[in-house]
Structure formats: C-alpha cells, structure tokens
C-alpha cells in the first residue's frame, strides 16, 4: 500500500490566514475523497509565533494591537480586518474581530503538542482557532486552555500538568527552528511530502491539485520495477 502523503503545516493560532488556510486545505482534500484512487493524507501541525512578545493579557482591541504593531492608521486596519472577515466567510468561518482577545500564543502551541501526544491535534487546533476568532475566548491562559482542551476531548489533568511544567515547550521551539531552517518567514506554510512548499491560504482547488499530483507521483514510483 502506498504510504500516506504527509502535509506539515506551520501556523499560529492568532493568524487569521492560518484558519482560512486550514479550512481551505480540508475542503481541498475533501474534493479528492471521491476520486477512484483518492490520496491518503496525514496532516501534522507545527508551531510558529507571529508576535512572541505579545503579553498574555493585551489591553485593547485587535485594531489597537495591529495599529501599534504595524504602525498602520486605525481606519486602514479596520478595512483590512473587514476584508479578512469577508474572505473567512467564503471559507465558512464567522470571524468576530470585535470580540477577539489578543494574547500570547506560546501556551496554545504547547497545548497543540500535548494534543498531538493524545492523538487529538486536529480537534484541538479547530477548537482553539474557533474559540479565538469566532467566540472571543481567551487562548493564552492555562485555565482557559485546560477548559478548551476538555471540550476537545483531551484529559484535562494531563493538559494542566503539561502546561504547568512546560512539558512540550521544547517541541514548540524545535518547530520554530525547523521553520527557520526552511526559510519560512510567514504563515500559513505547507510542506507537502517534504518536497513541495506552499505559502499562504491557497484556495481549496490548489490543495486538491497538489495532493492529486503528489499521489500520482507516488503511485508511479511504486509501480516502477526496482533496480
């Protein structure tokens, strides 16, 4: 049997394009599911912090943060957020920047690694991004993260211990080192089968195309007689 295609995804919980890219990847792979020879795919999420100097409890709105961080006029920031909200809606996401609580995301990344160890990384990523962008939940404090982890089906006590002891912080840092080695300077960034790099929240059709292409290449290579 041909091995599954591995898609490594570098993203940040606080990146609006990352949630859109995640959803578009899922929709693209869903398009391939009906193929006679549907690609088998394994998706693994990796940590990337866009603003590691952000405080856990940022006082102000998303507009305030971006205006200060990017030096853009508040009106221009609002126009940008409105545009992103519209694109997110096309992906089936209901962004609420008016509710969003900007925070440091390192603990959320530790949680994603804890979830990976429990075999529920995909569920945890979805819960975190929905909580952050659609529900105005806090994703930077341990108590809040433990609550979200339980909602995603993880063992709450294990998660609390993992976050209190920074059990997975080294895994977060390893992901970030790998991103630097790859030359990744923005997210989302997708590495397909360790060979193809795809940057940005591409449309579903683009992800479907690359999955089919790589799967066909795999099939061709498997069919060739060994020397």
Q: What's the rounded Cα separation, in Å, for the pair 103 and 123?
A: 21
**DSSP letter at 193?**
T
pLDDT for residue 191: 97
Whose CA is closest to 117, among 188, 67, 45, 62?
45
Do 15 and 47 contact (CB within 8 A), yes or no? no
* Sequence spans of domains, the chain: 5-223
pLDDT per position as a tens digit, 64-82: 998 888 788 999 999 999 9
pLDDT for residue 222: 80
Q: What's the rounded Cα separation, in Å, for the pair 221 and 206?
A: 23
pLDDT for residue 224: 77
Collapse the DSSP code of 44 into the 3-class scheme (helix H, G, I; strand E, B; otherwise coil) and give the result: strand
pLDDT for residue 218: 87
pLDDT for residue 39: 96
Tell me the pairing of strands 189-192 and 196-199. antiparallel
Tokens of 91: 């992906």
Residue 113 backbone dihedrals phi, psi, to 5 degrees: -70, -35
Instruction: Please provide the average confidence, as pLDDT, over all residues in the chain.
Output: 95
Whose CA is closest to 149, among 110, 188, 93?
110
pLDDT for residue 1: 66
Q: Which fold has domain 5-223?
A: Glutaredoxin (3.40.30)
Whose CA is closest to 58, among 132, 169, 165, 130?
132
User: Residue 188: is the preceding peptide bond cis (ω within 30°)?
Assistant: yes
pLDDT by position in tens, the chain (length 227): 678 999 999 999 999 999 999 999 999 999 999 999 999 999 999 999 999 999 999 998 999 998 888 788 999 999 999 999 999 999 999 999 999 999 999 999 999 999 999 999 999 999 999 999 999 999 999 999 999 999 999 999 999 999 999 999 999 999 999 999 999 999 999 999 999 999 999 999 999 999 999 999 988 888 877 55
Q: What's the rounded Cα separation, in Å, for the pair 147 and 36?
A: 41
pLDDT for residue 226: 59
């Amino acid at each position: 049997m041909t091995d599954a295609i591995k898609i490594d995804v570098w993203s940040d919980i606080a990146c609006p394009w990352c949630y859109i890219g995640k959803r578009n990847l899922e929709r693209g792979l869903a398009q391939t599911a009906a193929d006679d020879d549907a690609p088998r795919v394994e998706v693994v999420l990796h940590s990337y912090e866009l603003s590691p100097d952000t405080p856990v409890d940022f006082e102000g709105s998303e507009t305030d943060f971006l205006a200060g961080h990017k030096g853009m006029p508040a009106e221009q920031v609002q126009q940008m957020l409105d545009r992103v909200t519209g694109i997110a809606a096309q992906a089936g996401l209901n962004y609420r920047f008016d509710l969003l609580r900007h925070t440091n995301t390192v603990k959320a990344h530790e949680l994603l690694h804890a979830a990976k160890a429990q075999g529920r990384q995909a569920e945890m990523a979805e819960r975190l991004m929905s909580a952050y962008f659609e529900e105005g939940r806090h994703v930077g404090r341990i108590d809040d993260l433990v609550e979200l982890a339980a909602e995603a089906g993880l063992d709450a006590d294990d998660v609390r211990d993992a976050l209190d002891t920074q059990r997975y912080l080294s895994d977060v840092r390893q992901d970030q080192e790998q991103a630097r080695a790859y030359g990744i300077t923005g997210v989302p960034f997708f590495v397909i089968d360790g060979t193809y790099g795809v940057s940005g929240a591409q449309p579903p059709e683009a992800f479907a195309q690359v999955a089919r292409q790589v799967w066909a290449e795999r099939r061709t290579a498997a069919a060739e007689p060994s020397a």
